Amino acid sequence: MIRVLVAEDHTIVREGIKQLIGLGKDLQVVGEACNGEQLMENLRHTPCDVVLLDISMPGMNGLEAIPRIRALNRPPAILVLSMHDEAQMAARALKIGAAGYATKDSDPSLLLAAVRKVAAGGRYIDPELADRMVFEVGLTDERPPHALLSEREFSVFERLVQGEGVNEIGQHLGLSGKTISTHKARLMQKLGTSSVAELVRYAVEHKLV
């Protein structure tokens, strides 16, 4: 039996995922979480084989959670299930330790197959993303500016476009407001923006929110 823990902040989506997993006779939902902090707490007490991980969660988001999950003594495989069908986002998640990346509009049968594949030690990439990842990420230099952000800068960027202030971001990430301001200045320079409103526009245009 493959034990799955579902981390998703939207209740309706989470319940739908649980029902879908329940269709697999070899799959079992053993836990759920609505944010990154709850996910890490559950993982300390609930053994599982696969974490179905949403990227956009309040508090600690999915990208921030991946390295922490990987640092556990017996880390489960991580299958990112995201609303983002963006090749750079998928590449970033896989680079920092996810075993697979699927989108929320994936065919249900493909999602169940993906869970089984990563549970067995394999890798999975949404078929529609696979070709784009090769050409957008691997073979050309025409990468979008946000691909040049460091992991920390990307985390700050995500929180800024979600409406968090510098001090609030600092509290979430355990950093000083001054450090966050430095990251903010650098990422805005890399993205060619001069205001949070422009950051939001950039995020919408590149399907990052």
Q: Give the pLDDT confidence of 25-83 residue by residue, as tens digits.
A: 999 999 999 988 999 999 999 999 999 999 888 778 888 899 999 999 999 999 999 88
Chain centre distance of CA 35: 12
Average pLDDT over residues 111-136: 86
Token representation of residue 108: 């249900």
| pTM of this structure | 0.73
Average pLDDT over residues 201-207: 87
**At 158, which helix (H) or strand (E)?**
helix 151-161
Q: Is the dihedral of CA 79, 83, 85, 90 positive or negative?
A: negative
2-7 and 100-103 as β-strands: parallel, antiparallel, unpaired?
unpaired
**Predicted local confidence at residue 139, as pLDDT:** 47
| Residue 201 pLDDT greater than 80, yes or no | yes
